[in-house]
Amino acid sequence: MEPAASGSPQPSSPSTSPPPPPQPSRYESQKRRDWNTFLQYLRNHKPPLTLTRCSGAHVLEFLKYLDQFGKTKVHVETCPFFGHPDPPSSCSCPHKQAWGSLDALIGRLRAAYEENGGRPDSNPFAARAVRIYLREVKESQAKARGIPYEKKKRKRKPTVTSVRLDVDLTSSVTGDGSNSDSPATSGAVPSLG
Ligand SMILES: [Zn+2]
């Protein structure tokens, strides 16, 4: 009195799993998400704003709007932790978008704008004002956290480094902060003839 189909093995597929289907790269999917976020921002803009009328000033507005979703604490100058890369306790300073995130975001949106039919010479993400704003954010965040970006720049790696920089900064709170590839001479004792 057993059910008929019990115990019959499925001969069709051996247990090897097929290779994963090709996926859009993380960069591409992130770019698409960013672009949709920006289009949505334009739709909700008051007064309404179309892409063709969008200027660098609007891009700056957008970047400032994103700060409310930021996760990077940026100390104000009056905070006792201003300039401390690793504060011993918390404070009430606001969270903002890290410079590295904004910089990468602008790069993706600049590309997306042209991929969606925008003309390079009217690309609002390539506007001078945007570049200046990003540089100001970078410098002020570097000061607020006591980390000079200039020093790290010396490594001169491709632009991807700028994103990594920011990851390093936030993760160094939990890490031991040691920098293995710095040319520290502390261990090496030179022989004195
Ligand atoms: Zn603070």
CA 20 – CA 129 distance, rounded (Å)? 43
Distance 176 CA to ligand 1 centre (A): 21
Per-residue pLDDT, 146: 76
State the residue range of the domain holding 84.
26-171
Which pLDDT score, from 0 to 100, does residue 85 have?
85
The predicted pLDDT at position 147 comes to 66
* Nearest CA among 159, 144, 164 for reference residue 74: 144
Q: What is the mean pLDDT of the chain?
A: 78
CB 93 within 8 A of CB 125: no
**How far is the centre of ligand 1, averaged over its atoms, from the C-alpha of 90 (Å)?**
7
What spacing in Å lies between the alpha carbon of 170 and ligand 1's midpoint? 15
**pLDDT tens profile 119-160:** 999 999 999 999 999 999 999 999 998 766 554 444 554 544
Predicted pLDDT of residue 159? 47
Compute and round to an integer the Cα radius of gyration of the chain. 25
Q: Is residue 15 part of a domain?
A: no
For residue 154, which amino acid is it?
Answer: R
pLDDT of residue 139: 94
Residue 133 lies in a domain: yes
Residue 22 tokens read as 């090709």
Average pLDDT over residues 73-96: 92
Helix/strand/coil for 95: strand
Average pLDDT over residues 4-23: 61
**Distance from the CA of 118 to the center of ligand 1, in angstroms?**
41
Confidence (pLDDT) at 12: 55
* Cβ proximity of 106 and 134 under 8 Å: yes
Cis peptide preceding 47, ω within 30 of 0 = yes
Length of the chain, please? 193
Q: How far is the CA of 75 from the centre of ligand 1 (A)?
A: 4
Which one is predicted more confidently, 47 or 155?
47
- Centroid of ligand 1 to alpha carbon of 34 (angstroms): 29
- Asked, for residue 11, whether it belongs to a domain, the answer is no
pLDDT > 90: percent of the chain: 56
- Please give the structure tokens belonging to residue 62: 């957008």
25 - beta bridge partners? none
In a domain, 132, yes or no: yes
- Give domain status of residue 51, yes or no: yes
Instruction: Provide the number of structural domains found in the chain.
Output: 1
User: Over pLDDT 70: what percentage of the chain?
Assistant: 67
pLDDT at 13 over 60: no
Residue 161 in domain: yes
Q: Could you tell me if residue 134 is inside a domain?
A: yes
